[in-house]
Amino acid sequence: MGSSVRKTGKTKEPVKRNTVTIDSVDIELTERVVNMSRVAKVVKGGRRFSFNALTVVGDSDSYVGLGFGKAREVPEAIRKSIEGAKKNLSKVKRQGQTIPHQVVGKFKSARVMLKPCAPGTGIIAGEAVKAVVELAGIQDILTKSLGSSNKLNIVKATLDALSQLETINEAKERRSITLKKMFGEYSSKRRAEKRIAAGIVPNVEKVAQELESGEISK
């Protein structure tokens, strides 16, 4: 009569399906199927059908990626596209809940324009563009899709536009100029004009000198 031996040891932790590690930080991803299509290949014995899946994954904060999978069954095509999207994650630069500046992304014959907007506007976009910007964590944005209506091209054009975004400090370092030179004297002039109109003049002598020199208008 054999004796039963109980194996002792640490229990294995369940594997999280949609979690990736970037810079030693675990990021939980959300997946969204943008498009599913059935394609047929004509062979000697007839037609062979398969499915294409276009999927976007992101953490709804700053990372987003695109994946494309093809298989004989729908679940397998989606699984392949998700695995491919995890390997193609890119970081999106934001300014609050919108983007820093207007940008146009291009891929083949598709063009997508992204434009920042005021808080509370929401996401004004089509299905394909909306999936990308939502999973990138952008909540207020205006978009316009031009050219091709192919969803794969539109998604890639959107990702191209997001990759072109840069913050003010990054633009300053790239151009090797100061913020004052980048934006000019327009903001300071407008601020002085508003203070004069409101009757709030912190430095009368300085404002008088600027008025005499013509730097600001009366």
What's the whole-model pTM score? 0.72
Considering only residues 25 and 166, tell me which one the structure prediction assigns the higher pLDDT.
Answer: 166
Q: Rounded to whole angstroms, what are the CA distances from 56 to 6, 108, 112?
A: 45, 19, 17
Mean pLDDT over residues 145-174, rounded? 89
Mean pLDDT of 73-79: 93
Q: Look at residue 216 in the predicted model and tell me its pLDDT.
A: 52
Report the distance separating Cα 87 and Cα 85, nearest Å: 5
Better-scored residue on pLDDT, 170 or 24:
170
Q: Using one digit for the tens of pLDDT, what is the confidence trace for 119-138? A: 999 999 999 999 999 999 99
% of the chain exceeding 90 in pLDDT: 50
Which pLDDT score, from 0 to 100, does residue 13 have?
Answer: 44
E strands present in 72-149:
90-91, 103-107, 110-116, 123-124, 141-147
In angstroms, the CA 58 to CA 138 distance is 11
pLDDT, residue 14, reads: 41
Q: Which range has highest mean pLDDT (9-18, 78-87, 194-203)? A: 78-87
